[in-house]
Structure 1
């Protein structure tokens, strides 16, 4: 995930005490509205569906780790309908089901690679969460966080100690990446 520069801080620019000058990092959205629209087109390209089914399809793809809200799904269904990319299957039904139109198929084809990367991102999220929930992995992550929090919560940490911590973390990251 990318980090909004307005919420990032660097050691050079932040005061030594406090967290980024008092700012907390903002958690970025998993997917933006255009990503959601492409996923909706992807699923509608397989079968006609209503909004709730589209939410469940995305949720299933990520094994429950991400679920778009109705507040993003339904306005985007309306937008796709206005773009002539989808149509209502039965306007008299209690729940509107949508199907892909020719313009929607064109959008799918034009964005095939991006859709594949979105699907990969959501499936890898499910794998990540599954692997992080392995008890030994979870315990090791917890111990690392606890050790860092304990050490970094001390006042007056020397520059030498900070550099040692940074070096150790970088070495661990390299070992994890190459193992």
Structure 2
């Protein structure tokens, strides 16, 4: 079964898979940035994309699931904002262009998912002076989960293979998730403008 089919079935099995609220880390880390162009990688039902658009960002948001993207487009319409929603299997295609902010909030999938390679491609899409923001889990939390290894923030940063002098590390740390008994991490980089 393809990732697209798996995720379409998961989203179709419920009226709303996620809360519709923006991720807390995204709000914290983007506050104070001057809005420009943003790419939301793995946007799901659009909570982050709509929040960014409400803050004045010009947003491109991508996901593998057509079901999720239809919901996200409906949410954006209800909110009165414009978001360019695109369907991409990130193992095979990626949005064109560069962006002032590239955000990946908990990008995971099932099976043999090349997350590290996709995140390197996300880094390539950051414009000079722009921000790469990656939020990750550090543990599974409660319930049944597929076997996923969660690299530490330092391991994730090393896996991005940042060119010396090209990136400024703004944050690379674990933190507790608000209101839950689990740990997440943030890697936030700025591409040095030349």
**TM band (smaller chain):** under 0.3
Rg bigger for which structure? 1
If the length of structure 2 is used for normalisation, what is the TM-score? 0.21
If the length of structure 1 is used for normalisation, what is the TM-score? 0.22
Q: Which has the higher strand share?
A: 2
